Copies of this chain bind each other. A is one copy, B any other.
Amino acid sequence: MASRSHDTSRLDNTLAVIRSLRDKGPVARVDLGTLNGISSATVTSISADLLQQGLISERPPDMPRPNERGRPKTLIQLAPEAACVICIKLSINELQLVVGDYAGQITHSEHHSIDTLGLSQEALVTLLKDKTAAVCDLALTRHRRLAGICLAVQGVVSSHSGTLIWSPALSFRNAPLAALLEAHFDCPVLLENDANCIASVLATQPAYADHPNLVVIMLGYGIGMSVLIDGKPFLGANGSAAEFGHSKYQPGGALCACGKRGCIEAYISDYALYRQASEVIELPAGDSAHPSESQMQALTQLALQGQPEAQRIFAEAGRALGYGLGNLLTLFNPDLVLITGSGVRGYPAMHDAMQTAIDEALVPELVGSTRIASCPWDRDMTCLGGIAMTLQATDQQILAG
């Protein structure tokens, strides 16, 4: 209801400049002006402030002179050392810690194998504190300050309250992890869903930049989803992300890790595929309830190479996926659906059945113009997104000094 009390355009424009620099790398003042719809006089004024604060630096353009007349551009760029953020990615049996600089680039990354399901809440918090403190010490030798920490987890989180509601990687629920970490580090701690992190990265990529309403589906051990509306993650009432994996495919159907029956996840997640396959095919030994990357690789290979039982299982998964996407298109009507995650390796074996299921479920008028595509998977993407979100969230504080 209440609009802002006075002109906030200086702050808005300053943040816009910082974000342009982060997205595009070094840019000249004129270009920052046209990019953000402000005069270059204003950019001069803003960049003078930022230079004085040590948040940006000037540098000559890369190319010596590509044959153009006129005064050469002076590029300005974010000073990487001005701040850093730490992103902690928590997934099943693995912890990844990454340091990002003020420009959003990864400057350090480490992986730890952890029995996440065996941890109590206290043990997890202690572990996170210790690992983070060590990384923080390292990071502060190269950066002026720690701007924020992002905990990116698979599962359902309430970002507003910083509470982890449920994660397949953990055996406890409803943990106020952000507050517990904030108590030990003198900076904001964000708790984010991993799919939202990835979606935030994809949305900035030029290939998808013209699709402001974007849905990202992550296939893997669980099924993640993120919905971006006008480029911003859609969070429900309590700040928890939309949970595509637990929308229903078959009332009373297959058992899901969440305890209910018929969830889409119970048909297309790694554990669901492996569970079905291990009943009918000879597969590498291992914990079939938590199949490893190599176990899944083996199974996927069979399906892609035409093993009939495996093909059938992946086709059924494709049907469930298509059915769920049908509901998703009906309800959200996005421009683009991107399917990614480690499970995207099996997507070719699901594709045809998926498309058939969508065609069965929807009249063409309702499908609208939504494009469905897959997208290769990179294990650092989550942390890149977490870094981007954390910087975005803390830019104003960094600016304030």
The CA-CA distance from A212 to B362 in the complex, in Å, is 30
- Bound-state CA distance A390–B248 (Å) is 38
Task: For A368, list chain B residues within 8 Å (CB).
Answer: 236-238, 240
Q: Is the CB of B234 within 8 A of A366?
A: no
Task: Name which of A6, A12, A237, A362 has the most chain B CB atoms within 10 A of its CB.
Answer: A237
A365 to chain B, nearest CB (A): 5
Complex Cα gap A226–B362 (Å): 19
Report B-chain residues with C-beta under 8 Å of the C-beta of A370.
237
Asked if A62 CB lies within 8 Å of chain B CBs, one says no
Report which residue of A166, A234, A242, A330 has the largest number of chain B beta carbons within 10 angstroms of its beta carbon.
A330
Q: A237-B368, A258-B363, A334-B236 are in contact. Are A247 and B37 (CB under 8 A)?
A: no
Q: Which residue of B3, B12, B251 contacts A323 across the interface (Cβ within 8 Å)?
A: B251
Which applies to chain A's interface (DSSP): helix, strand, loop or mixed?
loop
A 255-309 contacts with B by CB, 8 A? 258-260, 262
Q: A173-B365, A234-B229 are in contact. Are A38 and B327 (CB under 8 A)?
A: no
Residue of chain B at shortest CB distance from A15: B3
A243 touches B3 (CB 8 A): no
Q: A3-B13, A5-B37, A242-B331 given as contacts; is B229 within 8 A of A213 (CB)?
A: no
The answer to whether A351 has its CB under 8 Å from any CB of chain B is no
A166 nearest in chain B by CB position:
B365
Could you tell me the distance in whole angstroms from the C-beta of A3 to the nearest C-beta in chain B? 5
CA distance A221 to B244 in the complex (A): 29
Say yes or no: A323 contacts B240, CB within 8 Å: no
Contact, CB under 8 Å: B259 / A326: no
A41 to chain B, nearest CB (A): 12
Complex CA–CA separation, A370 to B366 (angstroms):
27
Tell whether, in the assembled complex, residue B174 and residue A365 are in contact, meaning their CB atoms are under 8 Å apart: yes
The one of B3, B174, B327, B333 in contact with A248, judged by C-beta atoms closer than 8 angstroms, is B327
A3 to B9, CA, bound (A): 9
Determine the residue in chain B with the shortest Cβ distance to A319.
B251
* Contact present for B243 and A330 (CB under 8 Å): yes
| CB contact under 8 A between A365 and B242, given known A1-B35, A12-B3 | no
Give the contacting residue for A1; candidates B36, B248, B369; CB below 8 A. B36
CB of A255, distance to nearest CB on chain B (Å): 13
Given A234-B229, A237-B334, A247-B331, also A366-B156 (CB < 8 A): yes
Q: Kindly state whether residue A398 has any CB partner on chain B within 8 Å.
A: no
Choose from B9, B36, B242, B361 the contact partner of A330 (Cβ within 8 Å): B242
Which residues does chain B contribute within 8 Å of A234, judged by CB atoms? 229
Q: A134 at interface (Cβ–Cβ under 8 A)?
A: no
With known contacts A3-B38, A13-B3, A361-B248, A238–B369 Cβ distance under 8 A = yes
Q: Can you add 19 more A-B contacts, CB < 8 Å, to A5-B39, A6-B9?
A: A1-B36, A3-B16, A3-B37, A156-B366, A165-B365, A213-B236, A229-B229, A236-B333, A237-B333, A240-B368, A242-B332, A242-B333, A243-B330, A243-B331, A246-B362, A258-B363, A259-B363, A260-B363, A331-B331
A contact residues vs B (CB 8 Å cutoff): 1-7, 9, 12-13, 16, 20, 35-39, 156, 165-166, 173-174, 211, 213, 229, 234-238, 240, 242-244, 246-248, 250-251, 258-260, 262, 323, 326-328, 330-335, 360-363, 365-366, 368-370
